[in-house]
Amino acid sequence: DAGVTQSPTHLIKTRGQQVTLRCSPISGHKSVSWYQQVLGQGPQFIFQYYEKEERGRGNFPDRFSARQFPNYSSELNVNALLLGDSALYLCASSLWGEETQYFGPGTRLLVL
């Protein structure tokens, strides 16, 4: 079975631009979570979505938003990019009510 997939794998943007990252969960998983991993640190929780609704939000500014589609795939949007947004963005999927999350390979974003 295919694991969690993310696109694109790499992205370069300039300050002030907007970016959209995409994630497809493992088949049968209805919950998707997003994490930001800055170089040299552990991942930080951004959002969790289930059945197209936000079920959890981390300590990130409103420039960060996400949505989930009827097929349970998800998009993460970041507006007005800052240099500090440069990071590996990880998507994870899980069964609702199941604590184990399975991660995708990530999208590496570089903001210049």
The footprint of another protein (CB under 8 A) covers 4, 31, 33, 35, 40-45, 48, 50, 55-58, 90, 92, 94, 99-106, 108
Are 17 and 75 spatial neighbours (Cβ–Cβ below 8 Å)?
no
Cβ at position 16, least distance to another protein in Å: 27
Cβ at position 82, least distance to another protein in Å: 22
Cβ at position 106, least distance to another protein in Å: 5
Q: What is the 3-state secondary structure (H, E, C) of 24-64?
A: ECCCCCCEEEEEEECCCCCCEEEEEEECCEEEEECCCCCCE
